Amino acid sequence: MKIPCPHCGERDVAEFRYGSDATKTRPVHGKGTQKIWHDYVFLFENPKGPHEEYWHHVLGCRQWFKLKRNTATNEILGGEQ
Ligand SMILES: [Zn+2]
């Protein structure tokens, strides 16, 4: 699989590390119950199909970016910084 880094261009997936789900909203710092923070940190969906994710170009520019990917086919649907 090839991933288009917004800074370096298209590179092999071996240079990247999956970060997390980019659709989750972080709770406000200092607010919220333990359950809200627990769910934010530890519970994840496992969507099949188009999904927005954070990726880290670990063996390249070391920048984080968002990537839209179809999790069923690994088709890259778009990205942004
Ligand atoms: Zn890069």
Ordered structural domains, the chain, with CATH = 2-25+33-80 (3.30.2270.10)
> How far is ligand 1, taken at its centre, from the CA of residue 38, in Å?
31
**Portion of the chain with pLDDT greater than 90, in percent:** 81
Which residues are paired to 2 by β-bridges? Answer: 12
- Location of structure tokens 């800074």: 7
What kind and span of H or E run contains 39?
A: helix 34-42
Six token digits for residue 74: 């690994």
What is the per-residue pLDDT for 30?
A: 86
pLDDT at residue 80 is higher than 80? no
50 CA distance to ligand 1 centroid (A)? Answer: 22
Read off the pTM: 0.84
Which regions of the chain does DSSP assign to beta strands (E)? 2-5, 9-12, 17-21, 50-56, 64-70, 76-80
- Return the pLDDT at 81: 60
Residues 20-49 pLDDT 10s: 999 999 999 888 899 999 999 999 889 999
Tell me how far the alpha carbon of residue 64 lies from the centroid of ligand 1, in angstroms.
8
What pLDDT, on a 0 to 100 scale, did the predictor assign at position 75? 95
